[in-house]
């Protein structure tokens, strides 16, 4: 389980939106690179970055801010927003992005996703952003007729590294993750699923560490971190404890060195 702090970029600044509405952007930092450095210092092992302007424009719009983030940290960065051409994928990976997230193009051009995943194994994720159960595209401005599970299944054999699933209705309003929908998607596909949208408190972190969420690869948190609703040290410690407990369970031994069932 990886907890990804989110940096959403709008006009070069670090913001959070309310349910994907660009008109409701709350600015949290004028220096995204400094914010990225803070997250690394706090102990996070990955960063989740989204070029919001790029998502609407269909091409990168906050390249300078992303470049600054990449220069400021050593931890891996996954990046989404406006990635709809192979040259864009190539460009970001060449600059040091560890994983690119393809959203709108996953609906409109699945062949592009498959080719990207083939050319760059482990470097391609699919962003599935759902509104009322249907996948939204173009910065969430439009809703398609495709369901999240249908879209996820399309890439089962494509070599996609992960699916980032966002419930738009919960994004930025601190109402908690949509666990039932996220788990439904995770159970429908073999691709690792990362939960996003609504994570609001340490209780939400504990919730995704419960046994029924064991199939999730991670979760993204944004506004709750910026608002101070989640203490990074406490959240990361909880995840470390869960990981340690899981390790003990997997390697439980009897006094004779034989496998011992764990309660």
- Residue 8 pairs in a beta bridge with 15, 50
Cα dihedral: 240, 245, 247, 249 (round 10): -170
The 3-state secondary structure of 16-53 reads: EEECCEEEEEEEEECCHHHHHHHHHHCCCCCEEEEEHH
Nearest to 110 by CA among 140, 84, 81: 84
Cα–chain-centroid distance for residue 145? 23
Count how many Cα atoms sit within 13 Å of the Cα of residue 155 in the half-sphere of its side chain.
33
Q: Which of 51, 53, 129, 204 is catalytic?
A: 129
Distance CA 102, CA 14 (A): 21
86, 69 Cβ separation under 8 angstroms: no
Asked if 231 is an active-site residue, the reply is no
Asked if 21 is an active-site residue, the reply is no
Dump the DSSP string for 70-82: HHH--S-EEEESS
Place of tokens 């709809």: 84
Catalytic residues, which ones? 8, 129
């Amino acid at each position: 389980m990886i907890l990804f702090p989110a940096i959403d970029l709008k006009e070069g600044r670090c913001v959070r939106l309310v349910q994907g509405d660009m008109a409701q952007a709350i600015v949290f930092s004028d220096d995204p690179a400094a914010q990225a450095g803070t997250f690394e210092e706090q102990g996070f092992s990955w960063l989740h970055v989204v070029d919001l302007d790029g998502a609407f424009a269909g091409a990168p719009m906050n390249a300078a801010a992303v470049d600054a983030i990449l220069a400021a940290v050593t931890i891996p960065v996954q990046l989404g927003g406006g990635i709809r051409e192979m040259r864009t994928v190539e460009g970001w990976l060449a600059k040091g992005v560890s994983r690119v997230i393809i959203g709108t193009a996953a609906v409109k051009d699945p062949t592009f996703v498959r080719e990207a995943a083939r050319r760059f194994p482990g470097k391609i994720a699919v962003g599935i952003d759902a509104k009322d159960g249907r996948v939204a595209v173009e910065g969430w401005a439009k809703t398609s007729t495709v369901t999240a599970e249908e879209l996820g299944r399309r890439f089962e054999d494509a070599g996609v590294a992960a699916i980032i699933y966002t419930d738009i209705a919960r994004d930025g309003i601190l109402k908690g993750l949509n666990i039932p929908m996220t788990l439904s998607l995770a159970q429908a596909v073999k691709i690792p699923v990362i939960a996003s949208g609504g994570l609001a408190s340490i209780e939400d972190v504990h919730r995704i560490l419960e046994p029924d969420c064991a199939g999730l690869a991670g979760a993204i948190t944004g506004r709750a971190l910026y608002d101070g609703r989640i203490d990074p040290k406490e959240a990361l410690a909880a995840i470390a404890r869960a990981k340690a407990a899981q390790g003990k369970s997997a390697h439980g031994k009897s006094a004779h060195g034989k496998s011992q069932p764990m309660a």
